Amino acid sequence: MTRSDRWIGILFFLFGFLVVREASKLEFTSSYGAGSGFFPFWLGVATIVSATIVTLYAWRNPSDADSSAPKIWSIKKLLALTALLGFVFTLDLLGFVTGFAFLVAFLLKLEGESWRNAVSVALAAGVGFHLFFVRLLSVALPVGPLGF
């Protein structure tokens, strides 16, 4: 267990508590025996118990593994994640193929590729996905103003 597990355990504890509270609002028993809230209620309790053990164990036996861990969110990772969020956000506006081409170009540029490489791979990826999924497999993907 690492020092981070203390906080993760507390987070899971709170989550379990929330589940128990929400499950209590549902029927605990019904004419069928157990109600809608029975199973999630006990799962919430199990989460609280497990989270408590994780937290207590991490508190009693902290290890310094965290200090040698790599930086969790580098700028590159954050930018890549933002690009993914942007892709989903603009999906209905741009359509899948156009949005995906933009995403590929952005990610390749982020990885240090030249504009020429990034744009040509992005175009090829967009066209390839359109031909394979939309034309060949008839997968219904969001369509943008350009018709694909």
SS3 138: coil
SS3 34: strand
All residues at 6 or more sequence positions from 36 whose CB lies less than 8 Å from its CB, including other chains = 26, 27, 30
All residues at 6 or more sequence positions from 35 whose CB lies less than 8 Å from its CB, including other chains = 26, 27, 28, 29
- Residue 122 CB-density burial (10 A; 0-12 exposed, 13-18 middle, 19+ buried): buried
Verify binding: residue 88, other proteins, rule CB under 8 A: yes
Verify binding: residue 62, other proteins, rule CB under 8 A: no
Which 22-61 residues touch other proteins, going by CB under 8 A? 22, 26-27, 29-30, 32-40, 43-44, 46-47, 50-51, 53-54, 57, 61
Number of amino acids touching other proteins (CB under 8 A): 63
Residues that bind other proteins (CB under 8 A): 1-2, 4-5, 8, 12, 16, 19, 22, 26-27, 29-30, 32-40, 43-44, 46-47, 50-51, 53-54, 57, 61, 69, 72, 74, 76-77, 80-81, 84-85, 87-88, 91-92, 96, 100, 103-104, 107-108, 111-113, 121, 125, 129, 133, 137, 139-142
